Amino acid sequence: MSSGFRDFLKQLEDAGELLRLPKRVDPRHVSALMAQAPQATFFEAIDGYPDWRAAGALVSTRKRLAIAMGCREDAIAARFEQGIQRPIEPRLVDRAPCQEVIWTGDDADLTRIPIPMMHVKDGGPYISATVVVSRDPDYGRNVGSYRMMYRTPRETGVDLVSSSDMRVYYQRALDQGRPLPIAVAIGTHPFELLAASYKAPIAVDEFAVAGGLHGAPVELVRCRTVDLEVPANAELVLEGELLPIGWTADEGPFGEFSHITGEVKWNPIFRVRAITHRRDPIFYVLQMPWENDWLAAPVIEAAGLQALRVASVEPVAIRAPVGGCCYWTLVASIRKRPGEGKNALLALLSVAEVKLAIVTDDDIDIYDPDDLDWAMTFRVQADRDLLVVEGARGKHIDPSVRAGALGKGGLPTTAKLGIDATIPEGVPRSHYERLRYFAKDAVRLEDYR
Amino acid sequence: MSPLARAIVAQLSARPRHFGELVEAHMDVPWRDFLRAWGEVRAAEVLSRDDAGRYLVSASPSPSPP
């Protein structure tokens, strides 16, 4: 059986990474409190919601993500690669904790869930930790993650602007004038969220990817009102449909994973048919932008490793720093042969929306900012070692692409920068020999205290 | 429409506001009551949005894509 949300909470607590708040908290204050806490946060009492607890900021650091993935902090990409290369098909079960309580009809009321207020300029309260399941008659099941903005007790907005498999499914349903049934699982293990965030080929079942990450099949249960399956051990499930109205309803702004507020978007509406949950549910508040960023890191880092290997460059370490939102920047160290600093940059800059890539030799600790600065200071000549690619695909939420000037439907482009911070060809490695202290191994500080 | 929903409509008729400003103006109201009232305002289809993402109540019946 795969691990669940509660197993992960226990792992965090055992590692001293979970802060329990026993006092009653207003849902309007949940995010602000999480932002002040150095650890992941568990709210034991929610004002106005006596049956609920809440938790969040669970994977808002590399350390906590590594705990979720059961690996070292510098091994999350390799661990992710391992999981996606060995998918394990999910298993269907008859009974599920996520269906201990079932609300249908007028009882399926979103105001009964402690959906929090997150950021100052959000267009409404948001459900952020979603694992959204849909099905297409030809392509099969899809699992993705989409933010959902509260509208009414039975409706949310759903951000379906970016290209995704579910967007394709919705468009196909829309063309036939029918709604698209979906189910939204909240409060799952991060592996389900990681698999949902991973842009797998359309025919790949993301629950099998999650199974590969767990090393065990994800247990699924059939929904009560839609022909879909959800993780049995989820805390909460919303069942319903995307209405066949197209991209016509206002949604947003929301605090984006780029750490800034987005714009109002035009999106479909999700209408709720049923809500099912555990008897003692815990509502998962995925804290933007940090958790979204860190959930992207293994995916982007693994893509970087793959790109380097395809380019026949041997990677040693790779890092998607949080300053680049674990999405726009990649730093890699390589075992370099002549010319491979540039080859590595070309490979890394081909990954998704990566717009800054830095490559170093394998003697540089890319997790140490000072070591990285040192390499960029003494191994880079700006006229030789910078690579600029103009007019590559960009992303609207990067303000520097000036998307506002493009007009309706315009797609932005971006320039990409690569910095080759490897030892220049022709300079002997001995010129970079670090200082060593005389008799370092002959004396110990402890002996002189 | 409930008194709280009517109060929200009145506030948005006076000037555009971010959702957060409305929340802040009604912190004395239980969150669930506020969400229900907001649902009523939404269902009444009287809301528009401005470029800054603020809500407003205007003559046009409901928000529509630009």
The residue among A121, A160, A251, A271 with the most chain B CBs within 10 A of its CB, best to mutate, is: A121
What 8-state DSSP symbol labels residue A424? P
Q: Which residues of B touch A264 (CB under 8 A)?
A: 49, 53
In a domain, B65, yes or no: no
Nearest 10 degrees: Cα torsion A257, A263, A269, A270: 20
* pLDDT tens figures, A157-185: 999 988 899 999 999 999 999 999 999 99
pLDDT for residue A426: 94
CATH number corresponding to A75-283: 2.30.110.10
In a domain, B62, yes or no: no
In a domain, B28, yes or no: yes
In a domain, B64, yes or no: no
pLDDT band at residue A201 using 50, 70 and 90 as cut-offs = confident
* pLDDT tens figures, A212-264: 999 999 999 999 999 999 999 999 999 999 999 999 999 999 999 989 999 89
In a domain, B63, yes or no: no
Nearest CA in chain A to B47: A250
pLDDT for residue B63: 60
Q: Which residues of B touch A266 (CB under 8 A)?
A: 65
* Cα separation values, A15 from A40, A67, A360, Å: 11, 8, 33
Give dist(CA A317, CA A333) in Å, integer. Answer: 5
Q: Do A153 and B32 touch (CB under 8 A)?
A: no
**Least CB–CB distance from B63: residue in A47, A152, A250:** A250
Q: Which residues pair with A53 in a beta bridge?
A: A282
Is it the case that residue A72 has pLDDT exceeding 90?
Answer: yes
**Least CB–CB distance from A111: residue in B32, B42, B66:** B32
* pTM: predicted TM-score of the whole model, two decimal places: 0.94
Average pLDDT on A69-74 reads 95
Q: Do domains A75-283 and A311-425 have the same CATH topology?
A: no
pLDDT for residue A403: 80
**A124 at interface of B, judged by CB pairs closer than 8 A:** yes
pLDDT band at residue A369 using 50, 70 and 90 as cut-offs = very high
Q: Which residues pair with A144 in a beta bridge?
A: A132
pLDDT for residue A199: 80
Place of tokens 């967007």: A167
* pLDDT tens figures, A280-334: 999 999 999 999 999 999 999 999 999 999 999 999 999 999 999 999 999 999 9
Q: Which residues contact A163 (CB under 8 A, 6 or more apart)?
A: none
CATH number corresponding to A311-425: 3.40.1670.10
Q: Which residues of A touch B31 (CB under 8 A)?
A: 26-28, 47-48, 114
In a domain, B18, yes or no: yes
Q: Count of domains in chain B?
A: 1
Q: Do A117 and B42 touch (CB under 8 A)?
A: no
3-class DSSP state for residue A433?
coil
- Domain of residue B26 covers 3-57
As a whole-number percent, the residues of chain A with pLDDT over 70 amount to 100
**Least CB–CB distance from B31: residue in A48, A120, A155:** A48
pLDDT for residue A384: 97
Classify strands A148-152 and A219-222 as parallel, antiparallel or unpaired: unpaired
Six-digit token string for A206? 């993301």
Average pLDDT on A184-196 reads 97
Run of H or E residues at A141: strand A140-144
Give this complex's ipTM. 0.95
Kindly list the residues of chain B whose beta carbon comes within 8 Å of any beta carbon in chain A: 18-20, 23, 27, 30-32, 35-36, 38-40, 42-43, 47, 49, 53, 55, 63-66
Q: Which residues contact A333 (CB under 8 A, 6 or more apart)?
A: A315, A316, A317, A318, A359, A360, A361, A362, A364, A366
**A266 at interface of B, judged by CB pairs closer than 8 A:** yes
* pLDDT tens figures, A327-338: 999 999 999 999
Give dist(CA A122, CA A301) in Å, integer. Answer: 30
In a domain, B49, yes or no: yes
pLDDT for residue A86: 94
As a whole-number percent, the residues of chain A with pLDDT over 90 amount to 91
**A264 at interface of B, judged by CB pairs closer than 8 A:** yes
Is it the case that residue A96 has pLDDT exceeding 70?
Answer: yes
**Least CB–CB distance from A152: residue in B43, B64, B66:** B43
**A48 at interface of B, judged by CB pairs closer than 8 A:** yes
Q: What are phi and psi of A159, to 5 degrees?
A: -80, 105
* pLDDT tens figures, B32-64: 999 999 999 999 999 999 999 999 997 655 566
Is it the case that residue A352 has pLDDT exceeding 90?
Answer: no
CA A402 to chain centre: 25
pLDDT for residue B64: 63
Q: What does the DSSP assignment read for A79-128? A: HHHHHHHS----EEES--GGGSEEEEGGG--GGGS-PPP--TT-SS-EE-
Is it the case that residue A136 has pLDDT exceeding 90?
Answer: yes
* pLDDT tens figures, A393-443: 998 889 999 887 877 667 889 999 999 999 999 999 999 999 999 999 999
Give the Cα-Cα-Cα angle A397, A124, A400 (nearest 5 degrees). 10
Q: What is the mean pLDDT of chain A?
A: 95
Q: What does the DSSP assignment read for A25-57? A: E-TTTHHHHHHH-SSEEEEEEETTBTT-EEEE-
In a domain, B9, yes or no: yes
